[in-house]
């Protein structure tokens, strides 16, 4: 098996294979691992591929953390406000819509007992967490292009760094939300802890879609530009700034929009209590988890070819 693999052609940038085969590990003859490059597609042995994937996530967690810290320091270097920039986007979006609502330019109302500013701020934070998760796979891999071409390391560390950035922004924005809710004395229902579950599923949905799009998005910038262009349009189609419609075609569009039931369920749990969107939340949460798993596998299988294109 080893001799057969050693004679096969190699791909530039391909993940080195250790001296194992899908049937089981082969005892090493030396203390150093033997690296064998093979043209054989990893997807032909899914169990072996998943095992390697899990190993690389474990091996890459420390590097992912270091990359996250490096990116974070680079993002806020030479800024006077520093981490405040992490909370300004949802804060400014909320202020704009609160002013428009106060002047009756728009006629959006929040549920009874919930201030409109808190309702919009919560929806905006959830929406931006989804968009950041959607962009994370492509942006984090683009940030590591030079490393991918020149060095051999667990590629999954880039995904860990991107996800850590999404969670950091969410934590900073939730701190702002807690302060606003405390100042406005908004009552917290017993279902509030489920807000974190709802947010996690919304991030999983965005991350799954981003991972599926990543192989194409790393070759063509159209994908990244399309996300940036259509994100505001999608936000207006999703009940981020207004209450979900309860009848007509708009209600059907609501249930067909994967982001809407998930976002509304998370917001209801934090501000109101039990949610009528539980069925949609469960269905689209399962979709998000499946997309994340499939996206990770597809990205790993396509990574050698993507690195070859990046280096050419």
In a domain, 303, yes or no: yes
User: CA 171, 131, 198, 71 torsion: positive or negative?
Assistant: negative
170 Cβ neighbours under 8 A, 6+ residues apart: 125, 129, 199, 203
In a domain, 306, yes or no: yes
> Number of structural domains, the chain?
1
In a domain, 147, yes or no: yes
What are the Cα distances from residue 30, in Å, to 4, 16, 36, 131, 182? 19, 17, 14, 48, 62
- Could you tell me which residues are beta bridge partners of residue 25? 20
In a domain, 50, yes or no: no
From first to last of its 312 residues, what are the pLDDT tens digits of the chain?
444 444 444 444 444 444 445 555 555 555 666 666 666 666 677 777 788 888 888 888 899 999 999 988 888 888 888 888 989 999 999 999 999 988 888 888 888 889 999 999 999 999 999 999 999 999 999 888 888 888 888 888 999 999 999 999 999 999 999 999 999 999 999 999 999 999 999 999 999 999 999 999 888 889 989 998 998 889 988 989 988 887 777 778 788 889 999 999 999 999 999 999 999 999 999 999 999 999 999 888 888 888 888 766
pTM, to two decimals? 0.83
From CA 44, how far away is CA 42, in angstroms rounded? 5
In a domain, 266, yes or no: yes
In a domain, 32, yes or no: no
In a domain, 107, yes or no: yes
Range of the domain at 282: 60-311
């Amino acid at each position: 098996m080893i001799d057969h693999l050693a004679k096969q052609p190699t791909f530039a940038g391909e993940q080195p294979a250790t001296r194992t085969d899908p049937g089981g590990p082969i005892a090493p003859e030396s203390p150093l691992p033997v690296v064998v490059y093979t043209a054989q597609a990893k997807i032909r042995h899914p169990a072996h591929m998943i095992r390697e994937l899990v190993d690389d996530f474990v091996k890459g967690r420390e590097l992912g953390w270091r990359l996250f810290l490096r990116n974070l320091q680079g993002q806020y270097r030479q800024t006077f406000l520093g981490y405040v920039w992490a909370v300004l986007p949802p804060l400014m979006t909320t202020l704009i819509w609160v002013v428009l609502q106060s002047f009756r330019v728009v006629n959006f109302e929040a549920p009874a007992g919930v201030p409109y500013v808190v309702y919009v701020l919560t929806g905006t934070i959830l929406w931006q967490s989804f968009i950041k998760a959607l962009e994370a796979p492509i942006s984090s891999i683009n940030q590591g292009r030079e490393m991918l071409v020149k060095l051999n390391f667990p590629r999954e560390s880039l995904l860990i760094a991107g996800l850590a950035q999404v969670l950091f922004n969410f934590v900073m924005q939730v701190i702002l939300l807690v302060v606003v809710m405390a100042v406005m004395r908004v009552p917290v229902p017993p279902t509030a802890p489920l807000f974190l579950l709802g947010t996690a599923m919304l991030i999983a949905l965005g991350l799954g879609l981003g991972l599926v799009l990543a192989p194409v998005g790393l070759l063509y910038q159209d994908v990244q530009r399309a996300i940036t262009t259509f994100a505001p349009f999608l936000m207006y189609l999703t009940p981020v700034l207004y209450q979900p419609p309860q009848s007509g075609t708009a209600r059907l569009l609501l249930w067909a929009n994967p982001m809407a039931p998930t976002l509304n369920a998370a917001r209801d749990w934090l501000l109101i209590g039990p949610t009528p969107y539980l069925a949609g939340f469960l269905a689209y949460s399962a979709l998000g988890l499946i997309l994340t798993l499939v996206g990770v596998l597809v990205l790993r299988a396509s990574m050698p070819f993507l690195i070859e294109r990046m280096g050419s």
